[in-house]
């Protein structure tokens, strides 16, 4: 997606598109690539969903989108959509980048080199101290931003350490941008607004629920070139963040701990599997430096987006849709594998999958995989 300057009405329609049922980040991006504008994509939704058997797709209203934008304005939050110049390039590079994010604080923080520090909520005193010192020492570089999720334990220590080191820190929220969770981090939240940025993809007022945290974690890793795990139990959100980081092509690092401490299992396991062992900030800088390139202003000239033609699936064969459906099951399968099995062109398969998703008959999974509902 090229960078471009958009109108307020297009920004509103992009928000409408992602707030519409059955549309997730991947589908949003495909629709935008196909139609060129959110307005045209919204107009085509009933027809697309109807081809796969759904006639009553619920499209988010313009009034609801305007209300959400007004609420964000009252919170002094900026709204940035995928494709705009202020949207962070590292985040835009992931397959399921959030189409719309809201930002409180200094939006220029999103242009810095993100280094995520994550770990256990019930972290040990030593773990919290390590996270705080690492964040403070990494913040010596003015081009670095420490990224985390504002959770208890390691996240809190990382944000606090960055602020103590006069650095920049970014907190990614699992709920609405103004919903501080946990509540005891209210003062830290306000300090981050003053020194860095708060980011959310969720509508204002939404309280975080368990299913929201993995989505939040993909943004934490997506904003970062590297993810450091300090402490993590055998089954923890931090390991989900590390897995997502690996899938996104980010560098995964971990601080080793005592094998007698269950909170050290995750970090030690990651090191055994190939994560870079971290002793101090120098280890992190050594790992990250080869990936850092000097920032240069974007010079692309905004140009009108061209609309891709709507595919005539009849030309691909009357049974093409049923052929694709027959390749689906409740078990996720790679889209490339479906193309191979069906012996149809990739554009035809992608179009049919898009129709099925809009009709609520398909779910998307990480790694460009899909499954039948």
At 27-75, the pLDDT tens digits run 999 899 888 899 999 998 888 777 777 667 889 999 999 999 999 999 9
pTM for this one?
A: 0.87
pLDDT, residue 358, reads 83
Name the percent of the chain lying above pLDDT 90.
Answer: 65
Q: What is the CA radius of gyration of the chain?
A: 21
Name all contacts of 42-50 with Cβ < 8 Å and 24+ positions apart: 42/13, 42/16, 42/17, 44/310, 45/20, 45/358, 48/354, 48/355, 48/358, 49/22, 49/355, 49/358, 49/359
pLDDT, residue 292, reads 66
Q: Which domains does the chain have, with CATH numbers?
A: 8-86 (no CATH), 106-291 (3.40.50.450), 313-372 (1.10.10.10)
What confidence tier does 318 reach under pLDDT thresholds 50, 70, 90?
low
pLDDT, residue 342, reads 87
Quote the CA–CA distance of 307 and 145 in Å, as a whole number: 37
> How do strand 113-118 and strand 144-148 relate by DSSP bridges?
parallel
Give yes or no for residue 1 having a pLDDT over 70: no
At 70-90, the pLDDT tens digits run 999 999 999 999 999 999 999
User: Looking at per-residue confidence, does 139 or 346 come out higher?
Assistant: 139
What confidence tier does 308 reach under pLDDT thresholds 50, 70, 90?
very low
Give yes or no for residue 297 having a pLDDT over 60: no
What confidence tier does 293 reach under pLDDT thresholds 50, 70, 90?
low
Q: Name the 3-class secondary structure at 11.
A: helix
Among 265, 248, 306, smallest CA distance to 34 is for 306
């Amino acid at each position: 997606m090229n960078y471009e300057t958009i109108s307020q009405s297009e920004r509103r329609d992009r928000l409408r598109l992602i707030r519409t049922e059955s549309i997730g980040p991947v589908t949003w991006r495909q629709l935008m690539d196909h139609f060129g504008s959110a307005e045209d994509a919204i107009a085509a939704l009933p027809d697309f969903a109807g081809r796969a058997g759904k006639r009553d797709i619920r499209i988010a209203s313009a009034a609801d989108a305007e209300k959400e934008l007004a609420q964000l304005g009252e919170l002094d939050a900026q709204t940035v959509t995928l494709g705009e110049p202020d949207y962070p390039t590292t985040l835009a590079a992931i397959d399921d980048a959030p189409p719309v994010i809201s930002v409180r604080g200094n939006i220029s923080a999103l242009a810095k080199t993100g280094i995520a520090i994550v770990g256990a909520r019930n972290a040990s005193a030593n773990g919290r101290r390590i996270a705080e010192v690492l964040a403070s020492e990494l913040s010596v570089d003015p081009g670095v931003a420490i990224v985390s999720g504002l959770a208890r334990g390691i996240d809190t220590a990382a944000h606090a350490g960055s602020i103590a080191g006069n650095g920049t820190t970014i907190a990614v929220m699992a709920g609405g941008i103004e919903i501080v969770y946990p509540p005891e981090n209210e003062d830290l939240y306000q300090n981050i607004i003053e020194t860095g940025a708060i980011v959310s993809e969720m509508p204002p007022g939404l309280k975080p629920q368990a299913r929201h945290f993995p989505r939040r974690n993909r943004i934490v890793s997506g904003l970062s070139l590297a993810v450091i795990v300090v402490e993590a139990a055998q089954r923890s959100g931090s390991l989900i963040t590390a897995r997502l980081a690996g899938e996104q092509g980010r560098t995964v690092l971990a601080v080793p701990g005592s094998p007698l401490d269950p909170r050290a299992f995750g970090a030690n396991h990651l090191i055994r599997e190939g994560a870079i062992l971290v002793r101090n900030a120098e280890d992190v800088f050594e790992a990250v430096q080869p990936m850092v390139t000097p920032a240069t202003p974007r010079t692309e000239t905004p140009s009108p987006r061209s609309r891709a033609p709507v595919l005539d699936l009849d030309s691909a064969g009357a049974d093409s849709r049923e052929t694709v459906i027959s390749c689906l099951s409740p078990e996720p399968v790679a889209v490339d594998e479906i193309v191979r099995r069906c012996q149809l062109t990739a554009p035809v398969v992608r179009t049919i999958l898009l129709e099925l998703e809009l009709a609520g008959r398909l779910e998307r999974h990480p790694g460009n995989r899909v499954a039948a509902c």
